[in-house]
Structure 1
Amino acid sequence: MAHSERPAAVEVHHPIPITVHPPNAAPLAPAQPGPASAVQSIVLPNGQVVTGYPLTPAPAPAPAAARPAVSRTAVNIALGGIGFGAVCGGLVLLTSFIAALTAFITQLITLAAVTFGGWIAAQIFGTTSHRSGGTTINIRKAVIKRSHFHG
């Protein structure tokens, strides 16, 4: 090795550790809202200044349409079944009511026919000898001779 060749100077950099929450650090003043500059500088509690570009937050993904746990079709079928069951129960009651009403009306008509028919039969075939307002005619045996009536 010749004397003319000298080794190059080496620079050594030692990183300074940054503590996130130093125990005796003063609280940071809140930043005033305003337009963000292209380059931002932050003063750390130990006095060191860090300069850099602001990080823009990644856009949030569009929320997926919230799907219900049960499909609408299943809910509609279930509600239709409940409504159909309610209607069928009501129709059974309505049919029973109509049948009972028909039987009642039939009994009333039969009772009226028997009662009114019995009254009419008593009027026609009655054995009472005295009838008010009627005319009594006695028919005697008549003899008819030579086309003459002798009474």
Structure 2
Amino acid sequence: MYPEQTPHVPAQRAVEVHQPTPYPPAAIQPTPVVPVLPDTVPAVASIVLPDGRVVTGYAINPAHPEAPTAKPAVSRTAVNVALGGVGFLAVCGGLILLTSFIAALTAFITQLITLAAVIFGGWIAVQIFSANGHRGGTTVNIRKAVIKRNHFHG
């Protein structure tokens, strides 16, 4: 290297070491001892591992599966489907009755309108073709009339 060239050396930093501050231990309150009956205390088992270590612990009793509950004679799904069918039939029956009622009401209204038309038409026919003659008004016989220069001479 040339003297005017100096290698770049990073500046060394001071190493700071932080020590954790211990907290004072919490006041430990003794837990009350509950007397246990001798037949409820589980047995303690010790196992020697192949490398010579001894592991001591409580023996765990295998969990017994619950006895299967008796199945009902009919499944709930079948009962639900049957109830749905009964409800559907009830609704359909009601709809059939409703449509029958509407059809009967429509026929009744149609008959009333037809009856009114027949009665009103008969009354008009009696008025027109009655044999009582004329009841007033003026009768003009225009067969003998002469029209001269836009004047009517009767």
TM-score normalised to the size of structure 2? 0.49
TM norm structure 1: 0.50
